Amino acid sequence: GQQVMQIPQYQHVQEGEDFTTYCNSSTTLSNIQWYKQRPGGHPVFLIQLVKSGEVKKQKRLTFQFGEAKKNSSLHITATQTTDVGTYFCAGYIMEYGNKLVFGAGTILRVKS
Amino acid sequence: EPEVTQTPSHQVTQMGQEVILRCVPISNHLYFYWYRQILGQKVEFLVSFYNNEISEKSEIFDDQFSVERPDGSNFTLKIRSTKLEDSAMYFCASSDRVNSYEQYFGPGTRLTVT
């Protein structure tokens, strides 16, 4: 079936270090969304990218959408303990309409 | 800020029993969704619902599952005969696709099938 792959599965960083998670699809995505899920919580929408090559920033977070609309990344600069959680990418795959396919998520732990 | 609500927060049921999970989407939203997340795993799409009918469903959403919008505010997921493997967190989400694809998730219902 359609899949969205995400790496790494888990990352443990020292507070102040940077963090990046990568998302890759075997097929072209209509758009890609990023969600954050705190431990014990529910997914919370962060951002949506639609255009090929798009880059968006939210404070210390930078989101990129690949030129071929098959990959994306989320980069956090100078992590803080409040960044702890699981970051999921999720994409709408063109052939499959209104069905959001989630990646497996990257668990971020931050040591203070 | 408007939010999606879900009840109950935790449901324990015996294998073979029927369960109904309830959701109240954000009031002006038009699209409704159910997802499940088995503990420690990724979020999996189950079904989307628009204009009082299912618009998409996944392979997981078999004949044991059904959804309904019984009135103007509630959106329910029914599992007719629960199996052990149905144990998971079930999230409801809603969106207003007029403006964006952003989905707002509810807090979830943890379903435990014994």
Whole-angstrom Cα distance, residue A109 to residue A15?
9
- For chain B (length 114 residues), average pLDDT per consecutive 10? 94 97 94 94 93 91 95 93 97 78 93 98
B38 touches chain A (CB under 8 A): no
The pLDDT score that the predictor gives to residue B99 is 43
Distances from the Cα of B83 to the Cα of A52, B18, B79, angstroms: 43, 10, 9
CA A37 to chain centre: 11
Q: Has residue A1 got a pLDDT over 60?
A: no
Q: What contacts A97, CB < 8 A, 6 or more positions away?
A: B55, B56
In A, minimum Cα distance to B92 occurs at A42
CA neighbor of B34 nearest in space, from B65, B80, B70: B65
Tell me: the pLDDT tens digits for A27-85? Answer: 899 889 999 999 999 999 999 999 999 999 999 999 999 999 999 999 999 999 999 99
Q: What contacts B73, CB < 8 A, 6 or more positions away?
A: B24, B25, B27
The pLDDT score that the predictor gives to residue A109 is 97
Q: Pick B101's closest partner by Cβ from A1, A48, A101.
A: A48
The pLDDT score that the predictor gives to residue B75 is 96
The pLDDT score that the predictor gives to residue A74 is 98
CA neighbor of A98 nearest in space, from B64, B32, B59: B32
Whole-angstrom Cα distance, residue A10 to residue B58?
27
